[in-house]
Amino acid sequence: MTQNQLDKKSEAWSALFSEPMSDLVKRYTASVFFDKRLWQADIEGSLAHAGMLTAQGVISAQDHAAIESGMKQIREEIESGRFEWKLDLEDVHLNIEARLTQLVGDAGKRLHTGRSRNDQVATDVRLWLRGEIDLIGGLLVDLQKSLLDLAEKNVEVILPGFTHLQVAQPVSFGHHMLAYVEMFARDAERMADVRRRVNRLPLGAAALAGTSYPLDREAVAKALGMEGVCQNSLDAVSDRDFAIEFASAASLAMVHISRLSEELVLWMSQSFGFIDIADRFCTGSSIMPQKKNPDVPELARGKTGRVVGHLMALITLMKGQPLAYNKDNQEDKEPLFDTVDTLKDTLRIFSEMVGGITVKPEAMEAAALRGYATATDLADYLVKKGLPFRDAHETVAHAVKAAISHKVDLSELPLTVLKGFNPTIDKDVYDVLSLRGSLTARNILGGTAPAQVHQQIARHRARLK
């Protein structure tokens, strides 16, 4: 039999049709040049299926041995780059099956017993995505560790904390970095939770209704390290909610990256001057020689829109489909693949970039002083002296107004002037009005006091061992 005949035979529907598929339709409907990345999952799933078919007496031990031998050669061909991917064979599944049949004959044709490409592709995507989630979980750990290292070096550094991008209260720079550690820790938790629902076996659902062959689906799930089987054949082949859920978790992770990026861009600008990012993560200008642009965080901020867009694409893809499988679902792969690639690349580069950040404590502290960041501390001081908080708030507003008019910080106002706002104010107020005093005073679980920050760093270190 010629290769052309083999390729034609691979089209299981070919005998029904009176004319060949047009070249334009072939190109439009083919997926092999992007879904070939599923080849390892396809081989893994096929081998588990073949082992189960043999155990159930559906195919012979000789056929099983031939399938294993053929798959071994196919694996070697793909890994070495010698495997020929063919557009005429449409997708990764038919390419591998056609090559297997070429190598081992009828045993290769028997492999597809009791399954359809519908449950096969759903299985392949789940197996592939499970492995990618594991890699992403590791990358999220790496990023958290990089942030912890940066935080630990800068626990005592005072940063102006902002609300509405206005100076609010002084915080430890280390404490600020730990806020992102918390975000990425939740992202890792979400990924682990998504993994449980990804890790369920569709194989055995066949095209949509199950199969009359005596399959042992639980045995295949066990062989593939899956946590269970999809319990309804229609649902198993037709829903891609696991991919949507992953894209949602990935979008949240990228949103957290984007928020960090926005701060890094602001902090590196001359208007802030709080940090410097290592040269290897920046570019210059083609016309302005003085420029050093934070391209990596800017691009990550842009790529966040790309990932969120993929989430919207997958949701829209799914929303109008009746049960069961529809060709629409071929369109799940490119947004899913790109989401995985974008998230992995971004996490890798951010883990490295964070390690190359230089902090500028003097600029941060000067900015905190410009914003009257200890005003709330003065209000709390007055409350402890017996003044109702609302009255204390009003009193401090007058004090800040006076400091602004004299172009000084609250801590630089003479005691006589401060007493004019409330007679209970005494010289101990200056301990309260210092940035360091404000920082240290917030020694409560989750607070910004250096003692608390050190405890949180230790907690995260233990968690990430």
How far is 261 from 350, CA to CA, in rounded Å? 9
Question: Structure tokens of 382?
Answer: 């007055």
Contact between 133 and 195 (Cβ < 8 Å): yes
> What is the CA angle 289-266-165, rounded to 5?
150
**Averaged over 45-61, what is the pLDDT?**
98
Give per-residue pLDDT as tens, 115-134. Answer: 999 999 999 999 999 999 99
Please indicate whether residue 285 is annotated as part of the active site.
yes
The beta strand positions in 330-429, using DSSP E, are 357-359
Mean of the per-residue pLDDT values of the chain: 95
Residue 20 confidence (pLDDT): 81
Whether the per-residue pLDDT at 13 is higher than 90: the answer is no
Longest Cα separation, the chain: 104
Give per-residue pLDDT as tens, 316-325. Answer: 999 999 999 9
Q: Among candidates 188, 170, 179, 186, which has minimal Cα distance to 150? A: 179
Which of 14, 269, 285, 398 is an active site residue? Answer: 285
Surface-to-core class of residue 44, CB atoms within 10 Å of its CB (0-12 exposed, 13-18 middle, 19+ buried): buried
**Nearby residues of 455 by Cβ (< 8 Å), 6 or more positions away:** none
| DSSP bridge pairs for 166 | 163
Whether the per-residue pLDDT at 362 is higher than 60: the answer is yes
Give per-residue pLDDT as tens, 271-312. Answer: 999 999 999 999 888 888 788 999 999 999 999 999 999 999
**Nearby residues of 184 by Cβ (< 8 Å), 6 or more positions away:** 140, 143, 144, 147, 253, 256
Where residue 191 falls among pLDDT bands split at 50, 70, 90? very high
Question: Structure tokens of 412?
Answer: 């630089």
Which of 164, 271, 286, 405 is an active site residue? Answer: 164
Give per-residue pLDDT as tens, 446-459. Answer: 999 999 999 999 99
Domains of the chain: 3-113 (1.10.275.10), 118-154+172-204+231-360 (1.20.200.10), 366-463 (1.10.40.30)
Segment (H or E) for 200: strand 200-201
Give per-residue pLDDT as tens, 255-271. Answer: 999 999 999 999 999 99
**In Å, how far from its chain's centre is CA 371?**
35
Residue 7 confidence (pLDDT): 47
Cis peptide before 324 (omega within 30 of 0): yes
Give per-residue pLDDT as tens, 85-109. Answer: 999 999 999 999 999 999 999 999 9
How far is 158 from 185, CA to CA, in rounded Å? 24
Please indicate whether residue 175 is annotated as part of the active site.
no
How far is 388 from 62, CA to CA, in rounded Å? 88
Beta carbons within 10 angstroms of residue 25's beta carbon:
10
Beta carbons within 10 angstroms of residue 176's beta carbon:
22
| pTM across the whole model | 0.92
Segment (H or E) for 277: strand 275-277
Place of tokens 């092999």: 32
DSSP assignment string, 152-197: HHTTT-EEEEEETTEEEEEEEHHHHHHHHHHHHHHHHHHHHHHHHH
Q: Print burial letters for 58-85: b (CB count within 10 Å at least 16), e (below 16).
A: bbeeebbebbbebbeebbeebeeeebee
Where residue 26 falls among pLDDT bands split at 50, 70, 90? confident
Give per-residue pLDDT as tens, 341-354. Answer: 999 999 999 999 99
Question: Structure tokens of 79?
Answer: 């890994």
Q: Among candidates 448, 393, 459, which has minimal Cα distance to 421? A: 393
How far is 285 from 295, CA to CA, in rounded Å? 11
Question: Structure tokens of 294?
Answer: 């934070």
